[in-house]
């Protein structure tokens, strides 16, 4: 879109989004990795939001911390397992290094594995707290989506998860990257080597998550959802809708089934699961209310 680029240039706006040339900084011997920091920040924000929402539902103070002590480790392990299973070549393929599968801080967490095992961990935590899992996941839904958006900033620090080349003013500058070292490759003069300008698909995903949060908050004020429906509608159904579009844009290497990226198929399956959970939540609550009504007659 040359015309749009000309308008942007005339307005004095940046013609592209810059990327960091390094994703790790050192405080003495301690490495501070942008990817890990983004994930941790997302977890903190998600816990804080979930606790505030549970407080309004009458839950015990600090109950989310106890549940998170189960959900977060389970989620991290699940996210890494999903990534390694669906992208095994760097670890078990020709020239791969199996020990690299343990280096989570360098990137590589699959959202579907994180959600699956994270939900299992949350279930254990909820049982210990005497709290309904449906109540907890509804309270956690907006915080989870915000955490996902913040976590995607880690891809920016790692110069990864981008789409095809573009000349749009929000195109993302990407450097040739040394994943092990955590910084851009340098040319003979010591300058970072620019790979090109690409669609920032990680940013699109983050914005989609924030849009879902806005719609969720708006919808909750105008509609009374049954327990479990908020999470089913906005996380299990809503997130995959945007993820399918973004996956179709991504140009990084990925394993495929029937010509499509694995995550496209998984997103469609998760969306279908969300629809089932949404309807089941409505029916199970209706049946429960009906049984209570009969018992009081």
For residue 290, the model assigns a pLDDT of 40
For residue 14, the model assigns a pLDDT of 62
For residue 10, the model assigns a pLDDT of 45
Q: Name the maximum alpha-carbon separation found in the chain.
A: 85
For residue 291, the model assigns a pLDDT of 38
For residue 295, the model assigns a pLDDT of 40
Q: Which long-range contacts (CB under 8 A, 24 or more apart) does 18-22 make?
A: 18/173, 19/156, 19/159, 19/172, 19/173, 19/174, 19/175, 20/156, 20/157, 20/159, 21/175, 21/183, 21/184, 21/192, 22/182, 22/183, 22/184
The rounded Cα 14 to chain-centroid distance in angstroms is: 27
**Tens-digit pLDDT string for the chain (297 aa):** 555 445 444 444 567 899 999 999 988 888 889 999 999 999 999 999 999 999 988 888 889 999 999 999 999 999 999 989 888 888 888 878 888 888 877 677 888 899 999 999 999 999 999 999 999 999 999 999 999 999 999 999 999 999 999 999 999 999 999 987 889 999 999 999 999 999 999 999 999 999 999 999 999 999 999 999 999 999 999 999 999 999 999 988 888 989 999 999 999 999 999 999 999 998 875 544 443 433 444
Burial class (CB in 10 A: 0-12, 13-18, 19+), 56: exposed
- In the chain, what is the straight-line distance between the N-terminal and C-terminal CA atoms, in Å? 69
Half-sphere exposure of 27 (CA within 13 A, CB side): 3
Sequence spans of domains, the chain: 2-288
């Amino acid at each position: 879109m040359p015309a749009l680029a000309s308008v942007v240039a005339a307005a004095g706006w940046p013609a592209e989004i810059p990327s960091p040339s390094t994703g790790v900084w050192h405080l003495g011997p301690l490495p501070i990795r942008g990817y890990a920091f983004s994930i941790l920040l997302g977890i903190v924000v998600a816990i804080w939001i979930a606790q505030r929402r549970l407080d309004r539902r009458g839950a015990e103070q600090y109950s989310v911390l106890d549940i998170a002590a189960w959900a977060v480790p389970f989620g991290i392990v699940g996210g890494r397992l999903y990534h390694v299973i669906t992208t095994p070549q760097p670890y078990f393929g020709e020239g791969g290094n199996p020990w690299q599968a343990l280096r989570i801080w360098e990137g590589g967490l699959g959202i579907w594995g994180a959600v699956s095992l994270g939900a299992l961990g949350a279930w254990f935590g909820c049982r210990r707290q005497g709290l309904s899992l449906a109540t907890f996941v509804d309270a956690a839904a907006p915080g989870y989506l915000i955490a996902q958006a913040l976590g995607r900033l880690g891809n920016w620090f790692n110069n990864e998860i981008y789409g095809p080349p573009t000349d749009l003013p929000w195109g993302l500058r990407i450097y040739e990257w040394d994943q092990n070292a955590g910084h851009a490759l340098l040319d003979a003069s010591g300058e970072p080597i620019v790979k090109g300008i690409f669609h920032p698909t990680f940013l699109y995903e983050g914005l989609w998550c924030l849009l879902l949060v806005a719609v969720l908050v708006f919808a909750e004020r105008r509609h009374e959802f049954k327990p479990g429906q908020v999470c089913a509608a906005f996380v299990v159904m809503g997130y995959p809708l945007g993820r399918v579009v973004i996956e179709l844009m991504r140009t990084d290497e990925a394993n495929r089934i029937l010509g499509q990226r694995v995550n496209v198929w998984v997103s469609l399956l998760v969306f279908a699961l969300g629809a089932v959970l949404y309807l089941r939540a409505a029916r199970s609550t209706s049946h429960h209310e009906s049984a209570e009504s009969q018992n009081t007659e």
